[in-house]
């Protein structure tokens, strides 16, 4: 069991997912704070996914593209994979925010 956990924690793909999850959890906390007074939203990831499906998909695709770029460039490491995961989710927010403003 310990070997399996060690293999997971030293896998760059796992670190990519951890980076995405870290940024997503940050957004969930902000989402809860922003909608707390309305009382109609539950602190639940599914509510967020239903409200922002394209940004969520864009984040996943961007993260995988960044991961592939790290592999192709020979720059893949645990910290670079984590950073790409975190930044992919952040970039999806920026792109999603711009597209919402332009409509």
For the entire predicted model, the pTM comes to 0.79
Residues in the chain: 103
Phi-psi region at 39: left, alpha or beta (left = phi > 0; alpha = psi -120 to 50): left
Query: What pLDDT is attached to residue 98?
Result: 55
Two tokens at 16? 């990519």
Local confidence band at 95 (pLDDT 50, 70, 90 cut-offs): confident
Token readout for 60 is 């996943």
Rounded Cα–Cα distance for residues 22 and 89 (Å): 9
The tens digit of pLDDT for each residue in 64-94 reads 999 999 999 999 999 999 999 999 988 887 8
- Domain of 43, in residue numbers: 2-102
Count of the separate structural domains present in the chain? 1
As a whole number of angstroms, the distance between CA 7 and CA 95 comes to 34
């Amino acid at each position: 069991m310990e070997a399996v956990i060690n293999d997971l924690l030293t896998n760059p793909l796992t670190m990519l997912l951890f980076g995405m999850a870290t940024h997503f959890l940050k957004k969930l906390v902000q989402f809860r704070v922003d909608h707390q007074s309305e009382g109609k939203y539950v602190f639940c990831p599914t509510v967020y996914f239903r409200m922002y499906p394209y940004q969520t998909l864009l984040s996943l695709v961007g993260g995988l593209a960044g991961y592939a770029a790290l592999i192709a460039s020979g720059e893949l490491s645990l910290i670079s994979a984590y950073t790409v995961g975190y930044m992919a989710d952040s970039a999806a927010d920026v792109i999603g925010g711009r597209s919402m403003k332009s409509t």
